[in-house]
Amino acid sequence: MRESRQEELMGCRLLYLVGQLAPGGLERQLFYLLSAMDRERYQPAVAVWNFHESDAFVPKIEALGVPVYPISSDLSATAKLNLFRRMVGKLAPEVVHSYSFYTNFAACWSVRGTRGVALGSVRGDFTLDKRDSGPVLGRLSARWPRHQLSNSLAAAETARNSGNVFAPQRWFVVRNGLDLERFRVVRAAAGPRCHIVGVGSLVPLKRWDRLLRGAAELKRMGVDCLTHIAGEGPSRTMLEQQVRELGISDCAEIGGFTEDIPSLLARAAFLVHPSDSEGCPNVVMEAMACGRAVLATDAGDVPALVDEGETGFVVPRGDDSTLFARMVTLATDQELCRRMGSAGRAKAERDFGLDRLVSQTLAAYRATGWKDA
């Protein structure tokens, strides 16, 4: 039945092309953007490059009244390009915004010969996104469209300094937004045991091994903590084995994916985010909005989100001794955690709202020549 929608295409002003709608940071940001914009005025629609009916954000976006157009994951890349180009021809959008890096070139190709404007995205590390997309698609998606939007100043700086022809001609930086109504301050339950949380995909770049070794150090020092890592991914088995090898099964656990991040943060004294590579990490912003101190590595735009010594601590990637020392500091000073959490919430209210996300995104569209009639 959904496939028949290809024959029911309705015109739109803004068309978003996204790789998938499974749970993830960029998918949530797209949902936030759509939920906060004036949908009657801008008539948005979403095309999904690798569509799966069961993906978490499909019903959520459709519940907003935004059409979701599937592109079967079984099709070849060439067939997808042709299908999407025909889709754009029928929908006649004024802007085609690729929300996934590897769909950037498809967005650019789709508007050739039309009046539409194409905009690409980098939502992580520019160099890694380019590498992971493959030698051909990575270069094409790094160069086209010539206008690209990043959620990270660090990614934009990397591209500007690359000295490579395969980079966008113009960058716009719009940091992630956050639903401040959903992420509220809840006072952590009092108790002798300190709860520490980490949230994210269980992949090597997130470096959850650092957090587990920190948990082992806390146990060695006699600090009573429970460390909980929430997420799913290919590193799960390895991390569970590390828990056993470190002898911390009584104070560290690998939980599964959860959408209820506010409840998870409500039980925590602070968040640890030990990643080697980031763009603008949602969970750091979410923890601050929930009034939690943040301890994170200096990946991506983390240093711009976390004010050192005020809303949390930022440590250099690879400086595990400082990371562990900061874990001890936060785990043994509840008042410091509360002060940092309060400062984090205040910053979230100033800087992380969805109105800013929408206004800056639309401003980027206008800067490409789009007429916001």
Q: Give the tens place of pLDDT for each residue, 305-344.
A: 999 999 999 999 999 999 999 999 999 999 999 999 999 9
Looking at the structure, tell me whether residues 219 and 100 fall in a common domain.
no
For residues 45-60, give the mean pLDDT: 96
In three-state secondary structure terms, 205 is helix
| Domain-embedded: residue 182 | no
The CB density around residue 1, as the number of other CB atoms within 10 Å, is 4
**pLDDT class for 236, splitting at 50, 70, 90?**
very high
For the chain, the helix, strand and coil percentages under 3-state DSSP, each to the nearest 5: 45, 20, 40
Q: Quick one: pLDDT band at residue 373, thresholds 50, 70, 90? A: confident
The pLDDT value given to residue 86: 97
Q: Are residues 215 and 347 in the same domain?
A: yes
pLDDT of 164 higher than 90: no
Q: What is the pLDDT of residue 155?
A: 83
In this structure, are 313 and 250 located in the same domain?
A: yes
71 and 144 assigned to the same domain: yes
Average pLDDT on 157-181 reads: 86
Beta bridge partners of 253: 228
Q: Which residue shows structure tokens 């095309």?
A: 47
- Statement: residue 1 has pLDDT above 50: no
* pLDDT for the residue 190: 67
Q: What is the pLDDT of residue 259?
A: 87
Percentage of the chain exceeding pLDDT 70: 97
Does any domain span residue 187?
A: no
Please check whether residue 333 lies inside any domain of the structure. yes
Whether residue 317 lies inside any domain: the answer is yes
Mean pLDDT of 38-55: 97
Counted domains in the chain: 2
**Residue range(s) defining the domain that contains residue 137:** 2-177+354-367
Q: Residue 87 falls within a domain, yes or no?
A: yes
Q: What is the pLDDT of residue 5?
A: 53
Cβ–Cβ under 8 Å, residues 355 and 179:
no
Residue 373 lies in a domain: no
pLDDT at 282 over 90: yes
Per-chain mean pLDDT for the chain: 94
Clarify whether residues 211 and 147 are in a common domain. no
Q: pLDDT tens digits, residue range 284-303?
A: 999 999 999 999 999 999 99
Query: What confidence score (pLDDT) does residue 2 get?
Result: 54
Retrieve residue 367's tokens: 């800067």
Looking up residue 280, the CATH number of its domain turns out to be: 3.40.50.2000
Q: What is the pLDDT of residues 85-95, one digit of tens each?
A: 999 999 999 99
Per-residue model confidence (pLDDT) at position 189: 67
Same domain? 120 vs 171: yes
Q: Half-sphere exposure of residue 59, counting CA atoms within 13 Å on the CB side?
A: 4
Percent of the chain with pLDDT over 90: 85
Measured CA to CA, the distance from residue 115 to residue 299 in angstroms comes to 38
pLDDT band of residue 4 (cuts 50, 70, 90) is very low
* HSE, side-chain direction, 13 A CA sphere, residue 236: 14
228 plus 245 within the same structural domain = yes
- Per-residue pLDDT, 138: 94
For tokens 């300094």, the residue is 161
What's the pLDDT score for residue 10? Answer: 77
20 with 151, same domain: the answer is yes
Same domain, 15 and 162: yes
Name residue, tokens 């790094």: 142
The verdict on 95 and 208 lying in the same domain is no
Do 126 and 155 touch, CB atoms closer than 8 A?
A: yes
Q: Which residues have C-beta within 8 Å of that of residue 351, sequence separation ≥ 6?
A: 175
The residue type found at 133 is S
Question: What letters, b where the CB count within 10 A reaches 16 and e where it falls short, cover 153-165?
Answer: bbbbebbeeeeee
188 belongs to a structural domain = no
Are residues 146 and 233 part of one domain? no
| Rg for the chain, CA atoms, rounded | 21
Residue 290 lies in a domain: yes
Q: Are 167 and 198 contained in the same domain?
A: no
